[in-house]
């Protein structure tokens, strides 16, 4: 049954609902892999194995009594350690919050519990989510399962490691400059950043209020759709939440011609700057695959790339504002790289911030106009594969890793990363697809069409 932990969420759900396996079986399978592999990989900050087994037993009893909460009923999951969990510590990857135990679940956790999911614990991240290496000085590094000398990406690195390693079946992450899509790309899993405001941020430790997004990482596009069904929706208690109707995101994504008629933009500027040749070849081959599936791919520049620098100003200013008390009272307890970024955020003026917000609005207007004429922007998720964990190399790579993901935080547009190949060194390569606001279902359908036509999502790292 230990192999069951490596199944996609959809297949695991089918096992539970057909009674060929129980939730307890799946929890034990995940815990077995965690006990054998996580000492080397560093995915978990807090493991809640005993409570997970108790919750799994209740899930099995409920199902036997005719209480079925849906596709996630009895499914083992784990959370990026930014999501508040009642009675279980939520650290934000920080020494400052090392003993912080919330008394209330975040909105996403409330939804997942209602859907019957079983919580295995809290996952490693870059401190305060402010970085992409996941080399956490307080809780240890998370390591890439394809090559443990390399980073898994971040800040949701523990989530990507856990999903690809069979520690859980999906994990909610957060994405402010690429923190779902970057680890998805570097670890060879699927990751979705929905439209800004689609998933509640209530009870999620913020990085940048105006750029943060909550979304899932999972093995397949179909798994992402099931996860989004569970967590999406308006939350009147979250100021960032938008009251736009949700859809059944899993409905219709398995159609044979899911990419037919999709109007795809292959940018001739920005997104392929300084791209690694192996990444470039894999992504352009993905564009050819989509063309063979009936999509129309047009090479053209995206408008106003000069405005993209606004993202850095907004992110670091928001982060410095949230952490102003920590910077004043506990600066010595903040890791060196994160402290440097927060101090940089304190140097921007109100004029800088106002101009950045104006630039963002202008960029969004231009890109929305583009996406009225076209459906999808296609690019590499990251222009390089996973760099080495050596401190200076990893930190130096950070700007390159966020170059293609951050624009969709700035504009708030939905974007997905899915595997599209491997380097000669055996490292995953990610394909990014982005669409207009609230078009998550369409985006998932196109991504699933590509996934069905290619084998990359089926590959797993050697344990």
Query: Which secondary structure element, helix H or strand E, spans residue 321, and what is its range?
Result: helix 310-322
Query: Which secondary structure element, helix H or strand E, spans residue 445, and what is its range?
Result: helix 440-453
111 catalytic, yes or no? no
What is the rounded (10 degree) CA torsion for 339, 344, 347, 350?
-110
23 catalytic, yes or no? no
Query: What is the rounded distance in angstroms from the CA atom of residue 345 to the CA atom of residue 138?
Result: 22
What is the rounded (10 degree) CA torsion for 219, 220, 223, 225?
140
Q: Is residue 377 classed as helix, strand or coil in its secondary structure? A: strand
Say if CB 408 and CB 175 are below 8 A apart: no
Length of the chain: 463
Active-site position among 22, 23, 94, 155: 155
Tokens representing residue 123 in the block:
């996952």
Query: What is the rounded distance in angstroms from the CA atom of residue 46 to the CA atom of residue 81?
Result: 8
Active-site position among 13, 22, 23, 80: 80
155 catalytic, yes or no? yes
Say if CB 298 and CB 263 are below 8 A apart: yes
Tokens representing residue 230 in the block:
């569970």
Query: What is the rounded distance in angstroms from the CA atom of residue 144 to the CA atom of residue 158?
Result: 9
Number of Cα atoms under 13 Å in the Cβ half of residue 204:
29
Among candidate residues 87, 113, 195, 204, the one with its CA nearest the CA of residue 156: 204
Q: How far is CA 267 from CA 75, 160, 404, in A?
A: 39, 27, 11
Say if CB 128 and CB 100 are below 8 A apart: no
Active-site position among 94, 106, 156, 179: 179
DSSP per-residue letters across 389-437: --HHHHHHHHHHHHTTTHHHHHS---EEEEEEEE-TTS-EEEEEEE-ST
Q: How far is CA 184 from CA 117, 133, 308, in A?
A: 22, 13, 23
Among candidate residues 245, 373, 233, the one with its CA nearest the CA of residue 303: 373
Active site residue ranges:
80, 155, 179
């Amino acid at each position: 049954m230990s192999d069951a932990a490596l199944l996609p969420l959809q297949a695991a759900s089918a096992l539970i609902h057909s009674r060929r396996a129980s939730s307890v079986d799946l929890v034990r399978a995940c815990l077995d892999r965690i006990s054998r592999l996580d000492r080397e990989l560093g995915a978990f900050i807090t493991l809640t194995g005993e409570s997970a087994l108790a919750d799994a037993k209740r899930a099995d009893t409920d199902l036997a009594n005719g209480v079925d909460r849906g596709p996630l009923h009895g499914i083992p999951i784990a959370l990026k350690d930014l999501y508040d969990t009642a009675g279980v510590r939520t650290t934000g990857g920080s020494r400052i919050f090392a003993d912080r135990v919330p008394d209330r679940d975040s909105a996403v956790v409330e939804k997942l519990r209602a859907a019957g999911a079983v919580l295995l614990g809290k996952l490693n991240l870059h401190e305060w989510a402010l970085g992409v290496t996941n080399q956490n000085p307080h809780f240890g590094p998370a390591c890439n399962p394809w090559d443990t000398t390399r980073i898994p990406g971040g800040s949701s690195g523990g989530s990507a490691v856990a999903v690809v390693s069979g520690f859980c079946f999906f994990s909610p992450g957060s994405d402010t400059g690429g923190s779902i899509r970057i680890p998805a790309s570097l670890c060879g899993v699927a990751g979705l950043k929905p439209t800004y405001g689609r998933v509640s941020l209530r009870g999620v430790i913020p990085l940048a209020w105006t750029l943060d997004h909550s979304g899932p990482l999972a093995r397949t596009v179909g798994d992402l759709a099931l996860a989004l069904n569970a967590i999406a929706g308006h939350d009147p208690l979250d100021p960032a939440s938008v009251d736009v109707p949700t859809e059944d995101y899993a409905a219709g994504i398995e159609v044979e011609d899911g990419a037919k008629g999709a109007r795809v933009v292959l940018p001739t500027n920005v997104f392929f700057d300084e791209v690694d040749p192996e990444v470039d070849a894999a992504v352009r081959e993905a564009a050819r695959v989509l063309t063979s599936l009936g999509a129309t791919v047009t090479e053209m520049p995206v408008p106003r790339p000069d405005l993209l620098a606004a993202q850095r100003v907004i992110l670091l200013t928001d982060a410095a504002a949230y952490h102003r008390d920590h910077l004043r009272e506990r600066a010595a307890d903040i890791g060196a790289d994160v402290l440097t970024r927060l101090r940089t955020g304190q140097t921007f003026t109100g004029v800088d911030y106002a101009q950045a917000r104006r630039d963002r609005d202008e960029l969004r207007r231009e890109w929305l106009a583009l996406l009225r004429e076209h459906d999808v922007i296609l690019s590499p998720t990251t222009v390089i594969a996973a760099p080495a964990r050596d401190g200076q190399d990893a930190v130096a790579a950070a700007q390159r890793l966020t170059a293609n993901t951050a624009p969709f935080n700035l504009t708030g547009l939905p974007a997905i990363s899915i595997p599209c190949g491997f380097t000669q060194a055996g490292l995953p390569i990610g394909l990014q697809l982005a669409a207009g606001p609230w078009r998550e279902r369409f985006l998932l359908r196109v991504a699933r069409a590509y996934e069905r036509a290619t084998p990359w999502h089926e590959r797993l790292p050697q344990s």
